[in-house]
Amino acid sequence: MGLSNCIISIRLMRAKLSVTILQYRGFILFLTFLFYTAYHLSRKPISIVKSQLHRNCSTVVKPADLNITDNDTWCDWAPFDQNNYQSLFGYLDNSFLVAYAIGMFISGIFGERLPLRYYLSFGMLMSGLFTCLFGLGFYLNIHSLGYYAFIQVMNGLMQTTGWPAVVACVGNWFGKGKRGFIMGVWNSHTSVGNILGSLIAGVYVSSAWGMSFIVPGLIIASTGILCFFFLVEKPEDVSCTPPQHHGNEESGETEPLLQNSSHIDRTVNGAITTESVEVIEEHTEAISFCGALCIPGVVEFSLCLLFAKLVSYTFLYWLPLYISNVAHFKAKEAGDMSTLFDVGGIVGGIMAGLVSDYTGGRATTCCVMLLGAAPMLFLYNYIGQRSLGTTIGMLLLCGGLVNGPYALITTAVSADLGTHESLRGNSRALSTVTAIIDGTGSIGAALGPLLAGIISPTGWNNVFYMLISADVLACLVRNITLFNDITIQQGFWPLLLIPVMF
């Protein structure tokens, strides 16, 4: 009787601990999802407002008491009222994106060494401030390109606090078992943020575009306050065992124990036995930048993300303007229609995570989706605007194929590499690895909108040719690496000359 009660007590204790860590994990997923939704929500307004800053004034009703001298540009917002307005929009995009790309490499280093709760809170509060300052330009009647470019640079630097920190936080709480699916669902915050940002900015864009920035700025600042009070960075902070990142992690995922336990109790034929488990002592020193680069796969996936993110961010910043110019939608309607691309991105990210978990092939999943995206982009440019149904279907399909690989690399792949088996004994690499991969990708994110601004005056067809080329290059970068690995392992080293010959 006493033995049975003891067994029941042990099982109840384990069940209680399991529920506790599951509750914490759910809470952390929800919080970090909310945080990065706010980050992307505050980035989106610029793409919606572009079509309001430079309009076709011949279709706008003139106020009766307005004395105008130029019928073509009277309704535009200077300095975007000139023929080079697309280049100016490109400068604004790149002011943000270049600062973001440079800052991302530094951000990961800080993220490994500073408390994530403080780091995220500071970043969100400052991002909110600079987003609001951009919107205040409307009410203060500011027409200086330098002012808006400076705000974009500062906002880009502040936004780099988000991604390495939230991925590191989620990686601290979840093992590798279902990481692709979990992070595929979780990474939908990117598309949800884009959708909400488009809808919120669209409400104000035609009446007072300044509010299209101020409202998202206040939202991200509010989430920064939530982060300061409620974020739990690591399981150790609440006396739970961190997840296993290597080997058989099922027990680590389903039977969380109190931290620092060096043995576990098991019941065998009614008898309680004690088994010792290996306790791995982890180094507390954060990994260096060069050390993170040496992790197998980091450089290859970083270059792959560079081209994948080039495509994704070109759509993020230019799709509403493309729809407005080609399909002749109004600013709000074009913004609303562009959200379908992000809806497709949600489904694509989840499917990429599921497939990669099932097959175990993260790289293969990325390559297949990238190869599928190239012809879909070609078709969207040529037939995407023929009817409303075609537009909706093509936007959903392109969004899934373009954002699926991007989502997989920035989440599950980054977390896998940041907890790579070569790092066993050092858990403080996740933020740095994530920053290197996303920072390299952000170079592509800066190049995409810049090239779109330069190429678009020559025709939208050329912009899509550039995007298709980037998708193919993203696939080739990863495929050549896989091809080389296979040929070396199989002894077919002469085949390595084939990529060089072509």
pLDDT for 264: 44
Predicted structure pTM score: 0.73
Strand-pairing partners, residue 283, are: 426
Using the predicted structure, report yes or no on whether residue 224 has a pLDDT greater than 90.
yes
* Nearest CA-CA partner of 438 in 129, 77, 191, 107: 107
Picking from 38-47, 65-74, 280-289, 480-489, which range would have the lowest pLDDT averaged per residue? 480-489
pLDDT average, residue stretch 99-110:
84
Percent of the chain predicted with pLDDT > 70 = 75
Mean pLDDT for 437-466 is 88
Q: How far is CA 294 from CA 138, 291, 297, in A?
A: 48, 5, 8
**pLDDT score of 407 more than 70:** yes
Which segment of 54-68, 169-183, 263-277, 384-398 scores lowest on mean pLDDT? Answer: 263-277
pLDDT tens per residue, range 354-372: 888 888 777 788 888 988 9
| Dihedral over alpha carbons 268, 269, 271, 274 (to 10 degrees) | -10
Specify the pairing of strand 263-268 against strand 271-276.
Answer: antiparallel
In this prediction, residues 233-244 reach a mean pLDDT of: 76
Structure tokens at 327: 């399909």
Res. 240: pLDDT tops 60: yes
Q: Find residue 265's DSSP bridge partners.
A: 274
Greater confidence (413 vs 133) lies with 133
CATH superfamily of 1-244+279-490: MFS general substrate transporter like domains (1.20.1250.20)
> Span 122-136, mean pLDDT?
97
pLDDT in tens, 315-332: 888 888 888 888 778 777
For 387, phi then psi, to 5°, come to -150, 165
Distant-in-sequence, close-in-space partners of 10: CB < 8 Å, separation ≥ 6: 265, 267, 272
Q: What is the mean pLDDT of residues 249-275?
A: 43
DSSP 458: G
420: which DSSP letter?
-
- In the block, residue with structure tokens 């088994």: 275
* 12, pLDDT greater than 60: no
- With residues binned 3-state (H G I as helix, E B as strand, rest as coil), the percentages for the chain, rounded to 5, are 75, 5, 20
pLDDT for 496 equals: 38
Q: Choose between 479 and 159: higher pLDDT.
A: 159
- Higher-pLDDT residue of 224 and 362 is 224
Mean pLDDT of 200-226: 94
Selected residue with higher pLDDT from 397 and 4: 397
- Please determine, for residue 464, whether its predicted confidence score (pLDDT) is greater than 90: yes
> What's the angle, vertex CA 94, arms to CA 91 and CA 95, rounded to 5?
85
